[in-house]
Amino acid sequence: MYDGRNIFTKTKVMIEEILKPAIEKCLDELYSATDQSIQFQKTRKDFEGDITLVVFPLLRVSKKGAEQTANQIGEYLKEKVVEVSGFNVVKGFLNLEITQQYWYNQFVSAYNTADYGTVKADENAPTYLVEYSSPNTNKPLHLGHIRNNLLGYSVAEIIKASGKNMKKVQIINDRGIHICKSMVAWQDFGNNETPESSGLKGDHLVGKYYVEFDKYYKKEIADLVADGIEQKEAEKQAPIFKKAQDMLRSWEAKEPAVIALWEKMNAWVYDGFASTYSRLGVDFDKNYYESDTYLLGKKVVEIGLEKGVFYKKEDGSVWIDLSAEGLDEKIILRSDGTAVYMTQDIGTAIQRHEDFSFSNMAYTVGNEQDYHFKVLFLILDKLGYDWAKSCYHLSYGMVDLPSGKMKSREGTVVDADDLMEEMVSTAKGIAKELGKLDGMTDKQANTLYETVGMGALKYFMLKVDPRKRMLFDPEESIDFNGNTGPFIQYTYARIQSVLRKYNKKQTIFAEVEMTEKEKEIIKHLTDFPTIIQEAADGYSPAMIANYIYDLVKEFNGYYQSTPILNADSDELISFRIALSGLVARVIKTGMKLLGVSVPNRM
């Protein structure tokens, strides 16, 4: 089986590969013990050392106390392993110090590796699918979609960087009663308004009529209730709602005039979405449309009935009973033969596997759909698709703003385009206030505003564990201090300034006596390939974000206390320039995996 993670040298694993056989030999020679559990962990920051051996599991073979056992193993390793320069013991923990030569060799290897940290997939690498965005065509994208898109895109890029083939897909929800609501409202109140005549983006124009529908619908309900009709009955009898239901039936019957209107309004929306996606910096390899895939799902229902996976009730509706799995009964097809979301998702999943023969597929969808995906994966498994076990729900929490929770139909949704524009405008104001525009043309300045504003938005969204509900504070996200995108971007630009001042081609650099800070930076840098693999396995851009932030903090402390261009010798200057350059490369690669650009000047 192909495993991309074996391609790269990684500090922690490499140290283990050196130490583990030596420890096994030590245990055999000292205690006549073999096949023991050898556990390593990072050395705590308040202790000296580079890697720690947990000694407690070995006490049953040493028959000695923890400190005595640790000292005996430490002495053995110091004598027999050239990479071990010293050790100290804290209770049952053996903290091993690794030679500067080892760290220098690791640094040289990293520095000389193109695209350091990432693995290029080959033809034998598995194919992963990541689904994200998946909007409705009755309104523009909002704040929740921003988290969804940024998360899905970044996860896809990280998995790709870990050595897998990657395809990004979305399902566009372009059919159903909600679509017809916008269409009815435009017919009744639109006066043939178009994106061109209104000056509105197409998705905003269609969303405007979705809101208009809801306003008029509520008014009609209130009038019916005032006439003595029960609330629930009034909701069904409201004339405009009936009109939307009639339009849906006409659409399903493929009535030409309704289909033409549907195609026209959807085209407006797609143009608007394309503009938003472009500014967000996300893309897709293939779009799927609910208007196609719900038919695929209906075909699979017949197969499921034949296999006994589904059953039909007296009213003709089709169900699955998952009570044996601790769930409940789930409808698959309504009594009138119309599809539900589950029908569509079954068909789409099967079609995607036919299209891409994927080994794994992740769905980027909010945590309110956790139950839906448990059921979906179970159904696919029961239908006999072995790849169903490799499907994953990338579940994420809601995004709140300091002003409160979002709403949608009332028109108070936090619009994605408005939020992006606000971020760029805020970046412009802060950049001017901090005087970071000296010597820039207007074009360069506008590019910087976009880079900083969008970088702030993306980084802040992605630094939080996807599973957590998060509070997005635009002002906090664009601060040039702390765990923010602009702070990281500024550090990258600062390094580029140093490299420009050096103004020499960096080819080779001599081995020097490293400071403790330099060794710590190198240790951090050599963890980068491992972090990418772990972030890919965990579907977690937050791991990349926080790794880069920690690296930047370490480098800034180093930069403030250590002369680089004014070091004592040319060899030291050359080494420190190379170290700074590798830090910048890792920052750029890591931020790119988050979809964030870094500026050369700031």
pLDDT tens, position by position, 212-259:
999 999 999 999 999 999 999 999 999 999 999 999 999 989 999 999
Lookup: tokens for 52: 């720690």
pLDDT tens, position by position, 299-353:
899 999 999 999 999 999 999 999 999 999 999 998 988 888 899 899 999 999 9
What pLDDT shows up at residue 408? Answer: 41
Q: Contact, 300 vs 346, CB < 8 A?
A: yes
Give the position of tokens 């209104």. 198
Ordered alpha helix ranges (H), 227-255? 231-237, 239-252
What residues make up the domain containing 8?
A: 4-98
Domain assignment present for 474: yes
- Catalogue the E-assigned strands of 113-194: 127-131, 165-172
Domain assignment present for 432: yes
Lookup: tokens for 552: 């930047």
Q: Contact, 190 vs 202, CB < 8 A?
A: no
- CA-based torsion, 199, 447, 598, 491: positive or negative: negative
Give the position of tokens 């698709």. 385
What angle in degrees, to the nearest 10, is found between the helix axes of 541-561 and 570-593?
A: 160
Identify the domain boundary among 98, 113, 138: 98
Lookup: tokens for 159: 């998995």
How many angstroms separate the CA atoms of 416 and 72, rounded? 62
End-to-end CA distance of the chain: 46
Q: Contact, 40 vs 60, CB < 8 A?
A: no
DSSP states of 267-336 as a string?
Answer: HHHHHHHHHHHHHHT---SEEEEHHHHHHHHHHHHHHHHHHTSSEE-TTS-EEEE-GGGT--EEEEE-TT
Cα–Cα distances in angstroms (integers) from residue 594 to residues 65, 158, 319, 486, in the given order: 48, 8, 41, 14
> Where residue 508 falls among pLDDT bands split at 50, 70, 90?
low
What pLDDT shows up at residue 432? Answer: 80
CA atoms within 13 A on the CB side of 188: 18
Q: What is the 3-state secondary structure (H, E, C) of 363-424?
A: EEEEHHHHHHHHHHHHHHHHCCCHHHHHEEEEEECCEEECCECCCCCCCCCCEHHHHHHHHH
How many angstroms separate the CA atoms of 42 and 527, rounded? 11
Domain assignment present for 424: yes
What pLDDT shows up at residue 506? Answer: 63
> Where residue 412 falls among pLDDT bands split at 50, 70, 90?
low
Domain assignment present for 573: yes
Report the number of distinct structural domains present in the chain.
2
What pLDDT shows up at residue 436? Answer: 65
What pLDDT shows up at residue 400? Answer: 83
Lowest average pLDDT, out of 178-192, 425-439, 566-580, goes to: 425-439
Check which CATH number belongs to the domain holding 583 and give it: 1.10.730.10
Lookup: tokens for 146: 């921003």
Domain assignment present for 454: yes
pLDDT at 115 over 60: yes
Instruction: Report which of 341, 410, 399, 405 is spatially closest to residue 369, judged by C-alpha positions.
Output: 341
What lies within 8 Å, CB to CB, of 247 at 6+ separation is: 180, 183, 184, 258
Model pTM score: 0.91
pLDDT, mean over the chain: 91
Q: Contact, 132 vs 171, CB < 8 A?
A: no
pLDDT tens, position by position, 430-462:
888 877 677 788 899 999 999 999 999 999 999
Neighbours of 251 (CB within 10 A): 20
In the chain, the largest separation of any two C-alpha atoms, in whole Å, equals: 94
> Where residue 159 falls among pLDDT bands split at 50, 70, 90?
very high
Cα–Cα distances in angstroms (integers) from residue 259 to residues 10, 245, 288, 420, 565, in the given order: 57, 15, 18, 33, 68
Q: What is the mean pLDDT of residues 461-482?
A: 89
Pairs from 33-38 (Cβ < 8 Å, separation ≥ 24): 33/58, 33/61, 33/62, 36/61
Domain assignment present for 220: no
Q: Contact, 416 vs 147, CB < 8 A?
A: no
pLDDT tens, position by position, 258-284:
999 999 999 999 999 999 999 999 999
Cα–Cα distances in angstroms (integers) from residue 153 to residues 20, 423, 592, 595, in the given order: 38, 20, 11, 8
Domain assignment present for 194: no
Residues in the chain: 602
pLDDT tens, position by position, 6-56:
333 344 458 888 999 999 999 999 999 887 889 999 899 889 999 999 999
CA atoms within 13 A on the CB side of 393: 19
Instruction: Report which of 342, 335, 338 is spatially closest to residue 309, judged by C-alpha positions.
Output: 342
Identify the domain boundary among 98, 115, 138: 98
Identify the domain boundary among 98, 123, 152: 98
Lookup: tokens for 144: 């929740």
Check which CATH number belongs to the domain holding 84 and give it: 3.30.1360.70
Percent of all residues in the chain with a pLDDT value above 70, rounded to a whole number: 95
Domain assignment present for 535: yes
What pLDDT shows up at residue 75? Answer: 97
pLDDT tens, position by position, 483-507:
999 999 999 999 999 999 997 766 5
What pLDDT shows up at residue 404? Answer: 52
